[in-house]
Amino acid sequence: MSKLISLVAPFYNEAGNVAEFFRRVAALAATLPQYRFEVIAVNDGSRDSTLAELEQACQRYPGVHVVDLSRNFGKEAALTAGLDRASGAAVVPIDSDLQHPPELVAEMLTQWEKGAEVVLARRSDRDTDSALQRLSANFFYRLQNRISNVHVPPDVGDFRLMDQAVVTALRQLPENHRFMKGLFAWVGFRTVTINYQPSPRVAGVSSFNFWKLWNFALEGITSFSTAPLRIWTYVGLVTSVCAILYASAIVIKTLLHGVDVPGYASLMVGAMFLGGIQLIGIGVLGEYVGRIYHEVKRRPVYLVRAEYRSGEPAAE
C-alpha cells in the first residue's frame, strides 16, 4: 500500500489563505501518486471565517481532518493537537500562510526515503522579515545555542518532515508550556537539512508582533537552560566582592584621613543600583517559578470543541 503522509497546519485568522493552501496541497498530491496525503487542519480559535472555509475544504478534498479548538491556545498548542492526531508514516508541520511552500514536501520525501528521520527546511534568507525581526532572530539563536545544551538550528522554523518514530517520541514529552523548536531539536534522530526560499504571505498579516516574539524567546530560553539563574549567582558574587573592596577602602581612608561625611547622591545611586540588581534577579527567578506553577497544575495543552473528517457532516 502507498505510504500515508500527514500535513499538520495550524490556522488562526487565515480565511484568505485556506482555498489556495488546499489547492496547492492537492496539486502536490497529484504529482506524488505513490503517497496518500492527509491534512490535519487545526483551527486555533480563529475570529474570522477560517472555520467555515475549512469546512468547505473538508467537503471538497479527501483526507482532510479539521480540529476546532475551543479557543485560541497559541501555535505551539495547535501544533501539538495536530501531531497528536497525525498517523502518517511521515509528518510535516507546515504554516497555512503559504510562506512554507507545499511543493518542497516532495524533496523532503526524497531525503526521507534515503534514510533521514528528520528533514529540516532552512530559510536561505530572511528578506520577507523586517530589519528588526532579522536582528532579533539572529540574536535569539546565538544566545539560545550559547547557554543551552540543546542546539536549535538557526533559520529553521517548524517546517520539517519527521518520521512517525520522531512524532511518537515527541508525544512522550509531558510539559504544558511547549517550545516546539526546542522539543524538535531535543529528541534528536538522524537529520538532514535542505534550503528553501520563503514566499510572501498570500493574504492576511502575521499575528506575531514584537511583544509576542519577545515572550516566545523567553519561553525558549527558560525551557532549555538554567543559565540565567546561574548568571545572577555570579552577578551577586561580583557585587558582594565590589562592596567588600569599597568598604575596605572606606575603612582605610577613615583611618588615614578621619571621618568624612558621605554624600547623599552616592548613597542614593548605590541603593538604587543594588535594588535594581535584586529586582532583576527576582524577576529571573520568577520566570522559572512561573513555569513550575503552570506545570504543576497539569492542565491540558489544548481543548477541542469539535473535529470531523472529509465525508463526514460538519460539526454543529
- Which pLDDT score, from 0 to 100, does residue 7 have? 93
Confidence (pLDDT) at 216: 61
Q: How large is the average pLDDT for residues 60-81?
A: 89
Phi, psi of 31 (to 5 degrees): -85, -10
pLDDT at 207: 56
Picking from 24, 164, 184, the residue whose alpha carbon sits closest to that of residue 120 is 184
Would the pLDDT of 274 be above 70? yes
Is 295 or 26 the better-scoring residue by pLDDT? 26
Tell me how far apart the alpha carbons of residues 118 and 164 are, in angstroms, rounded to a whole number.
Answer: 10
Q: 76 or 220: whose pLDDT is higher?
A: 76
Confidence tier at 316 by pLDDT (50, 70, 90): very low
Residue 211's CB is within 10 A of a number of other CB atoms, namely 8
1-11 confidence digits (pLDDT tens): 688 999 999 99
> Among 28-42, 217-231, 301-315, which stretch is predicted with the lowest mean pLDDT?
217-231
Rounded mean pLDDT, 99-108: 88
Per cent of the chain over pLDDT 70 is 76
| Band of pLDDT at residue 18, cut at 50, 70 and 90 | confident
CA-nearest of 117, 181, 113, 123 to 152 is 181
Give the pLDDT confidence score for residue 224 in this predicted structure.
66
The pLDDT tens digits of the residues spanning 168-199 come to 998 888 887 777 887 888 888 888 888 888 77
pLDDT computed for residue 6 by the predictor: 92
Q: Is the pLDDT of residue 283 over 80?
A: no
Compute the distance between CA of residue 248 and CA of residue 242 in angstroms, rounded to an integer. Answer: 10
User: What pLDDT score was predicted for residue 315?
Assistant: 44
Do the beta carbons of residue 308 and residue 315 sit within 8 Å?
yes
Residue 42: pLDDT band by 50, 70, 90 thresholds?
A: very high
Task: State if pTM tops 0.75.
Answer: no
